[in-house]
């Protein structure tokens, strides 16, 4: 029996819902230590994200039924080993992302349950509960998980727009000073903030990953990728401008829930609770969207014998159960390992690891577009301006690797290398 497919709005909600996750609600606080120069970082990462979105939209039209998105494009353009590195690195990025979103989910719940901010046991228990609840939902199939994603995406946008539009009338220009408070050069600060904000654009490629389950995939995925990325970019930049203008740098640096704190400052406690509830829904929805992804990538690689075949086995509802469960076990371990740090430090460390590993997928996908466009001989893709955008996307991704920092690059490299033996085993043994 054919599995039900998702359409434009659900695909767009995957893009927007996975992008508007913890980053939108947490990054203003993480960026406060850099000063208002971080807004330039947002613009740089936004421009790079749009270039990447264009590359993925073109790739989705060249290969409309490429399950696994970046993994499938890389395999077609650069071969099995490069595809394995993309699939392995992207998988690491996805479960790292889910760990970071879990931390943000817990952080915003502290507005309602302050004990979560001081008791690590309760915090980890809530994080694990949310992860495994959504894993269970995703074992019931993509259509059901997509419905959860669409609803939570709609619910999360309203409080963001409320604070962004309402707060614009209460901006205090002195809050944007000093321009650069990082203690480093302007270029170093821009590079660091662009790398941190790049995490906020993780998810722009998500509509490409379950392409075999998307109606009219070539057209739907391309539109969903571009519309979702552009809409979220505008909301990110405007939202951060307003939050930085409303809250003083000192308040913002120490905020565990900056949008809720801004709403409380503007309209009172009730508004803070409304926005905090929106943030909880947002992070819960994003966690659901990324759990969808954590099952799809290993399953696609397993179908090509680049991951163990058991990762590709589907239940009667079409869900890759082992891929989902194995990923959630890894998320759980990461939460346990990092809760020795405080919430903000945990969040920042995890997003740097996640960003570093997903950049491998962006780098290889940009090169794969150039290869596939030339190989196709189709004048729709062999245009100099499209080649230029693909090159910009590649250079931007490479620059972001350099800006990830020594710790993130070190751990990201080790994690990628650790997967190489699995590649060799998977090519020899079918298990």
Tens digits of residue pLDDT in 284-308: 877 877 887 788 888 888 888 888 8
Which token pair is 115? 């004990």
Residue 402 has pLDDT above 80, yes or no: no
Residue 199 has pLDDT above 80, yes or no: no
**Which pLDDT does position 1 carry in this prediction?**
46
d(CA 126, CA 147): 23
Residue 38 has pLDDT above 80, yes or no: yes
Which token pair is 104? 């943000």
Residues with Cβ within 8 Å of 70's Cβ and at least 6 positions away in sequence, in order, are 56, 86, 90, 205, 208, 209, 361, 362, 364, 365
Residue 340 has pLDDT above 60, yes or no: no
Residue 372 has pLDDT above 90, yes or no: yes
Which token pair is 294? 């954590």
Nearest CA to 312 out of 296, 326, 325 is that of 296
pLDDT band per the 50, 70, 90 thresholds, residue 339: low
Residues with Cβ within 8 Å of 255's Cβ and at least 6 positions away in sequence, in order, are 28, 29, 32, 247, 261
Residue 123 has pLDDT above 70, yes or no: yes
pLDDT band per the 50, 70, 90 thresholds, residue 13: confident
Nearest CA to 222 out of 99, 325, 405, 69 is that of 69
Least confident of 156-170, 182-196, 338-352, 415-429: 338-352
Please tell me whether residue 6 adopts helix, strand or coil conformation: strand
pLDDT band per the 50, 70, 90 thresholds, residue 137: confident
| CA angle (352, 354, 357) in 5-degree steps | 105
pLDDT band per the 50, 70, 90 thresholds, residue 366: very high
**Which pLDDT does position 342 carry in this prediction?**
52
What is the rounded average pLDDT of the residues 314-338? 81
pLDDT band per the 50, 70, 90 thresholds, residue 374: very high
**Average pLDDT, rounded, for the chain:** 81
Residue 431 has pLDDT above 80, yes or no: no
pLDDT band per the 50, 70, 90 thresholds, residue 430: low
Residue 39: half-sphere exposure toward Cβ, Cα within 13 Å = 17
Residue 143 has pLDDT above 70, yes or no: no
Least confident of 50-64, 323-337, 386-400: 323-337
**Which pLDDT does position 59 carry in this prediction?**
92
Predicted TM-score (pTM) of the model is 0.80
d(CA 398, CA 346): 25
d(CA 153, CA 169): 26
Asked if the bond preceding 178 is cis, omega within 30° of 0, the reply is yes
**Which pLDDT does position 204 carry in this prediction?**
84
**Which pLDDT does position 368 carry in this prediction?**
95
Task: Read off the pLDDT of residues 232-282 as tens digits, 9 standing for 90 and up.
Answer: 888 888 888 888 888 888 888 777 678 778 888 888 888 878 877 877 887
Residue found under tokens 């969808």: 292
Instruction: Annotate 337-358 with DSSP letters as a single string.
Output: HHTTS-HHHHHHHHHHHHHHHH
Least confident of 54-68, 108-122, 150-164: 150-164
């Amino acid at each position: 029996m054919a599995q039900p497919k998702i359409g434009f709005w659900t695909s767009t909600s995957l893009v927007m819902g996975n992008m508007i996750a913890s980053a939108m609600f947490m990054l203003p606080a993480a960026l406060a230590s850099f000063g208002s120069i971080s807004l330039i970082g947002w613009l740089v990462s936004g421009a790079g994200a749009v270039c990447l979105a264009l590359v993925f939209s073109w790739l989705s039209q060249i290969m409309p039924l490429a399950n696994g998105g970046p993994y499938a494009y890389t395999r077609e353009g650069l071969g099995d080993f490069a595809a394995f590195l993309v699939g392995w690195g992207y998988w690491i990025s996805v479960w790292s992302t889910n760990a970071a979103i879990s931390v943000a989910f817990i952080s915003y719940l502290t507005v309602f349950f302050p004990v979560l901010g001081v008791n690590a046991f309760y915090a980890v228990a809530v994080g694990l509960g949310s992860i495994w609840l959504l894993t269970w939902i995703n074992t019931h199939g993509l259509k059901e998980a997509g419905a959860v994603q669409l609803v939570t995406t709609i619910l999360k946008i309203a409080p963001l727009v409320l604070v962004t539009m309402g707060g614009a009338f209460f901006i205090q220009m002195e809050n944007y000073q000093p321009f650069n408070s990082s203690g480093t050069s302007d270029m170093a600060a821009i590079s660091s903030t662009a790398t941190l904000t790049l995490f906020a654009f993780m998810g722009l490629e998500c509509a490409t990953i379950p392409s075999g389950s998307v109606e009219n995939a070539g057209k739907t995925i391309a539109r969903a990728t571009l519309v979702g990325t552009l809409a979220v970019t505008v909301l990110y930049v405007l939202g951060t401008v307003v939050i930085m203008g409303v809250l003083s740098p000192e308040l913002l640096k120490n905020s565990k829930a900056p949008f809720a704190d801004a709403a409380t400052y503007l309209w009172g406690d009730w508004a803070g609770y409304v926005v905090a509830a929106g943030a909880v829904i947002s992070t819960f929805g994003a966690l659901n969207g990324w759990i969808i992804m954590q099952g799809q990538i290993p399953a696609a690689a397993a179908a090509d014998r680049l991951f163990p075949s058991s990762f590709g086995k589907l239940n009667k509802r079409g869900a890759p159960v082992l891929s989902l469960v194995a990923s959630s076990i890894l998320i759980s371990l990461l939460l346990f390992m990092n809760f020795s740090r405080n919430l903000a430090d945990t969040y920042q460390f995890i997003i740097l690891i996640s960003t570093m590993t997903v950049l491998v997928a962006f780098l290889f996908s940009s090169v794969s577009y150039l290869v596939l466009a030339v190989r196709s001989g189709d004048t729709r893709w062999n245009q100099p301006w499209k080649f230029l955008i693909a090159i910009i996307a590649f250079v931007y991704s490479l620059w972001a690797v350099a800006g990830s920092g020594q710790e993130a690059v070190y751990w990201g490299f080790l994690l990628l290398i650790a997967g190489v033996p699995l590649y060799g085993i998977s090519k020899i043994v079918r298990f």
